[in-house]
Structure 1
Amino acid sequence: MVSIPTPIVRPLSTTGIRGLDDILGGGLTPNRVYLIEGNPGSGKTTLAMQYLLEGDRAGEPGIYITLSETKAELLDVAASHGWAPTGIEIVELTAQEEELEPDNQYTMFQPAEVELGLTIKTILAAVERVKPTRVVVDSLSEMRLLAQNPLRYRRQILALKQFFVGRECTVLLLDDKTSEAHDLQLQSIAHGVLSLENLSPEYGADRRRLRVTKLRGQTYRGGYHDFKITTGGLDVFPRLVAAEHVSQVDRSRLESTCAPLDALMCGGIDRGTSVLLVGPAGSGKSSIAISYAYAAAMRGERSALFVFDERVDTLLRRAAGLGMDLGPHIASGHLTLQAVDPAELSPGEFAHVVRRAVDGADGHAPAKIIVVDSLNGYLHAMPEERFLTSQVHELLTFLGHKGVVTFLVLAQHGMVGRMKSPVDTTYLADTVLLLRYFEAGGNVRRALSVVKKRTGAHERMIRELWLDGGIRIGEPLAEFQGVLTGTPIYRGRVVPGGEPDHG
């Protein structure tokens, strides 16, 4: 019987970027060659420098071999991030000034025949001298030009791969994808491939994302993951997978500051569910969501509000006008408000911020209520509109697994009459509250109805809503027909300037 040797399990080579290590399943398999590809400006150099700095902190010697940038330029990049790469050897193989002299130009030989050999020889000598554990070669486009033909280029890369593996080096080969055709042959040689992209929307900041194209013998999180370059390096936001966060949650009910509002849902909102508030601008959607967050803060629970469309100071004044002073609860940390600029924040980063709030990783207690005001702003943050539903579904499922109550505010187009939503998300939410304006007796009034609640019974009547010093819910509008159309027919008697006379 032939015995199968037990494979040697070695610690993974961490990149120093927490989000990227999470995507990779802990890091990179050591003593392998990896390809980091991306267009100029996508963050390859910053990623490579962080990888070497992480190795330096772990006592692993590193070497940065540059064929395109000068040593001074690399040190400037490091300084811009506050790094001092004193423990990293930088080998500069860029063209020297004396090579511009006519007497130093090759005449009998093709320049590639001499320069490629000298470049490879210099790389090997530097590695033998430093004996590094981590190596970065930047960039392969220079070697591709020197090789002049694909066969010679592939053979040189294979030879380098064998050389590095034999010396127990983990190598990052950077490729700026400036060649005419996409080099799939190079991807077949590498043990893993990481692709970086820099997207330029018509308006707003650049969006960057990465994807693990290939990683042999290791489980990783596929798909695209947003990231940004900040002072201090890459900040990667792994794609949210709700199935990884299933847990036991409290199924009690959440109450607001208005008992009649809770009565519409037969006692309140079940924890771990989502609520969609739909209606035209100014109909009271945000006020209702804030009332639940305010009530939770009074009970000592934390709520996190993410405001896309309204200034924070305006929201605070409006809440105070409804009898809800949010200031003390913000000071205590029971209520946090964050203004979100959809032109600057990617969907992946937003999901990451929400997750930190729910996990209590943002310096506060774990949030029990999340308010997204509004879903329209979140829609504008999406690079492609058709993916909104999938991302919202994943985020709501994650929050449901955590026992969080999520309020989504969706402003519809129009004011009175036929309403139109920018996107249909009603089937995603567990509870849907519909708000409308309607005209009666020469006055513009507000109406509220619970049209859906998956987790239990709810009232099906349409009631009038008042926002005058607080949230008030009126009697059912039984005398009206067609309230939701905005132009109802009154079947009873109206007291001018006041509430319907039910006497």
Structure 2
Amino acid sequence: MSDISRESTGIEGLDRVLGGGLLERQNALVRGPPGAGKTVFGLHFLAAAGDGEESLYINFGEPTEYVKRTADHFDLNSDSLHFLELAPTAEQFTEEEMYTLFSSADVEQPSLINEVRDTVEELQPDRVLIDPITEFRFLTADEHQFRSQIMGLIDFLRGKGATVLMTSQVASDLSDTDLRFLTDVIIDLDRTPDAWSIDVTKFRGPSVKRGPHGYEVTDDGVEVWPRLVPTQEPVDFEPGTVSSGVPELDQLLSGGLQRGTVTFFSGPTGAGKTTTSLQFVKEAASRGNQSLILSFEESKRTMLQRSEALNIGLSHMLDEGTVEIVEARPDEYTIDQVTNMIETAVTEDDVGVVLLDGFQGFKQNLRGFGDEDPVDYLSSIGRYLREMGVTTMVTNEVHQITGEFRVTEEAMSNVADNIVFLRHLEYQGSIDKVIGVLKMRTSDFEDTLRRLDFTEYGISVGEPLTELSGILTGTPTFDTSKQPRTDGS
């Protein structure tokens, strides 16, 4: 199928969903409610015409001047774009003209058909947009006449070598079922208060990426973010570990985090989850590995200030271009935007380390989950990054400061290959922190707990706390039988 000629839709993300664009001479139907952006989709398609190609906009809806202003607004107008307005104008709203345009007695509508045929014959367009095709229904006598004329129009345009895009208004009182049977491609647009989605529900040809996918109409036009789908064939990558640069911490992990694994740093607020994971980012960056940090709960400024205070030095890494920080503010991004950002970073920027900082913020700040579980999305992200050989870290907060030990408050521990937990403990009137490893799928690990400190010189990890028991309850006791002996025996 690699030699099939493709026609770009003019929307990079939609082309990726379609596997490269529409097939040459296909006809596609873009369906959606009012305000979903159907006309802008069509204008992108027409503006993507290549050198020497011509595009034709057959307009049954808004006045041409309005459409031209829309095209200018999105910078989608060009000398190769031509308009054929078949919508009634103000001047045509006389009794005589109304009869000519709309009377069902004139079943064949020869003036309209001749106008379309003559324009196509003269222009020989490579791309045609009919917007909206559903208006054509009102210019025919009945459903049979409508279907016959649509089929004739599509066949005529295909015979002239044109690739055709049609728009259809989705409404409860206006069915377009017949159109869906007649077209090669169906692209459904949907709008909810939470997000906008696009789904290719029919495609005669090679398979397309399953959806729904996220999209938005911005001042720059239409942007589509294909849903992240884990690869069927994992890439080959060299095994290895990502060190923390702290020998005692690496000892806990039998050398560090294995490449191509997902690690959860789990613990209550203030335990040091983000700082500890940043230590791995720092070490990876110092060895030339590209890293991406997605911060879902705290600002980029706060993260940089913290890193400077603890001698991690993120600012220097940002200046060198080895680390990128994206601050995902509440309601600013959809889940598909974030996953597309991750996929682009891995495939185009050669990112080898990804930190998702703040799972609670991930599920609360992002839009577009709909009825789907955020854990399922996190699982897909983890599976994709694992298959691409990327070392992934996720920080996850549990609300208990002390007391009964819990690793996560979501049913998601199965997403992680490794679980590193951090805890507060109260001992002899002071609050300390400890770190330990609960799980590592790919290697052995040290099954002890160690004291964890954060100083102006960086992260400090102590020796195993063998003399303390009950640490995971948050109220440990001192076991004198395990004290190091001082009598030489």
Mark yes or no: TM-score above 0.5.
yes
Among 375, 379, 391, which residue is 1:405 paired with?
A: 391
Say if 2:18 and 2:209, in contact at 8 Å, map to a contact too. yes
Change (3 A) 1:386 1:218: closer
1:242 is paired with a residue whose SS is coil
CA distance in 2, matches of 1:423, 1:462: 24
Q: Call closer, same or farther: CA 1:245–1:347 in 2, change over 3 Å.
A: farther
Instruction: Using the TM superposition, give the Cα deviation of residue 263 of structure 1 relative to its aligned residue in structure 2, in angstroms.
Output: 0.6
Equivalent residue number for residue 222 of structure 1: 210
- Residues 115, 282 of structure 1: CA spacing in aligned structure 2 closer, same or farther, 3 A cutoff? farther
| Partner residue, 1:375 | 359
Residue 256 in 1 paired to residue 250 in 2? Answer: no
Aligned match of 1:83? 76
- Distance in structure 2 (CA, Å) of the matches to 1:465 and 1:412: 18
Report the identity percentage.
Answer: 28
Q: Is 2:44–2:76's contact at 8 Å kept on the other side of the alignment?
A: no
Alpha-carbon spacing, 1:73–1:105, altered in 2? closer, same or farther (3 Å): closer
Per-residue CA shift, 1:102-158, capped at 9, x if unaligned?
675549x97444598254443333223322121110002322344474333222222
Q: 2:370 is matched with which residue: 374, 384, 393? A: 384
* 1:261 to partner: Cα distance: 0.7
2:450 is equivalent to residue 457 of structure 1: no
CA offsets 1:458-500 (integer angstroms, 9 cap, x no match): 111222222233222233334443322333444459xxxxxx9
Moved more, 456-465 or 231-240: 231-240
In the superposition, relative to structure 1, how do residues 77 and 502 fare at CA in structure 2: closer, same or farther (>3 Å)? Answer: farther
1:163-216 deviation digits (Å, cap 9, x = unpaired): 222322211110021352543221111111111222222xxxxx2221111111
Cα displacement (A) at 1:61:
1.2
2:442 aligned counterpart, secondary structure? coil
Contact 2:266-2:407 at 8 Å conserved across structures: no
Distance 2:105 2:212 in 1: 40
Match of residue 345 from structure 2: 357
Cα 1:354/1:39, change in 2 over 3 Å: same
CA deviation digits over 1:258-297, x for unaligned, max 9? 1111110111111111111111111110011100111122
- The answer to whether structure 1 residue 150 and structure 2 residue 137 are counterparts is no
Query: Which of 120, 132, 137 is 1:127 aligned to?
Result: 120
Contact in 2 for aligned 1:376/1:422 (Cα 8 Å): no
Structure 1 Cα separation of the partners of residues 409 and 384 of structure 2: 24
Cα gap change, 1:115/1:447 in structure 2, threshold over 3 Å: closer, same or farther?
farther
Match in the other structure for 1:393: 379
**Equivalent position of 1:39 in the other structure:** 33
Residue in structure 2 matching 1:137, options 104, 120, 130: 130
Letter of the 2:442 partner, please give it.
Answer: T
Cα distance change of structure 1 residues 502 and 124 upon mapping to structure 2, 3 Å threshold: farther
Q: What is the rounded CA distance, in whole Å, between the counterparts of 1:369 and 1:63 in structure 2?
A: 47
Give the CA deviation at 1:424.
2.4
| Contact preservation (8 Å) 1:245, 1:402 | no
Letter in 2 for 1:485: T
Residues 393 and 351 of structure 1: CA distance in aligned 2, closer, same or farther (over 3 Å): same
Contact kept? 2:43, 2:76, Cα under 8 Å: no
> d(CA) in 2 for partners of 1:169 and 1:62?
9
Instruction: State the Cα distance separating 1:394 from its structure 2 match.
Output: 2.5
Shift of 1:10: 5.3
Q: Is 1:25 aligned with 2:19?
A: yes
Distance 1:384 1:477 in 2: 46
- Kept in 2, the 8 Å contact 1:413–1:420? The answer is no
Task: Check whether the contact 1:197–1:210 (CA below 8 A) recurs between aligned residues.
Answer: yes
Cα separation, 2, equivalents of 1:95 and 1:116: 18
Instruction: Name the Cα RMSD after superposition.
Output: 2.8
Alpha-carbon separation, structure 2, partners of 1:123 and 1:417: 77
Question: Is residue 158 of structure 2 the alignment partner of residue 165 of structure 1?
Answer: yes
> Are residue 196 (structure 1) and residue 184 (structure 2) matched?
no
Runs of 5+ unmatched residues, structure 2: none
Return 323-332 or 217-226, whichever deviates more. 217-226
| 2:7 equivalent in structure 1 | 13
In 1, the alpha carbon distance for the partners of 2:137 and 2:373 equals 38
Unaligned stretches of 5+ residues in structure 1: 1-6, 202-206, 494-499
Task: Write the deviation string for residues 24-71 of structure 1: whole angstroms up to 9, x where unpaired.
Answer: 22222222322111112222212211111111x342211001111111
2:66 alignment partner, SS class: helix
Partner SS state of residue 22, structure 2: coil
Counterpart position of 1:446 = 433
Residue 76 of structure 1 and its aligned partner are, at CA, apart by: 1.5
Once structures 1 and 2 are overlaid, which stretch shifts more, 308-317 or 243-252?
Answer: 243-252
Local SS of the residue matching 1:168: coil
Give the alignment's TM-score, normalised by structure 2: 0.90
Classify 1:183/1:422 alpha carbon distance in 2 versus 1 (closer, same or farther; 3 Å). farther
The residue that corresponds to 1:49 in the other structure is: 43
Distance in 2 separating the partners of 1:397 and 1:191? 33
Distance 1:427 1:288, change over 3 A: same
TM-score between both structures, scaled by the size of structure 1 = 0.88
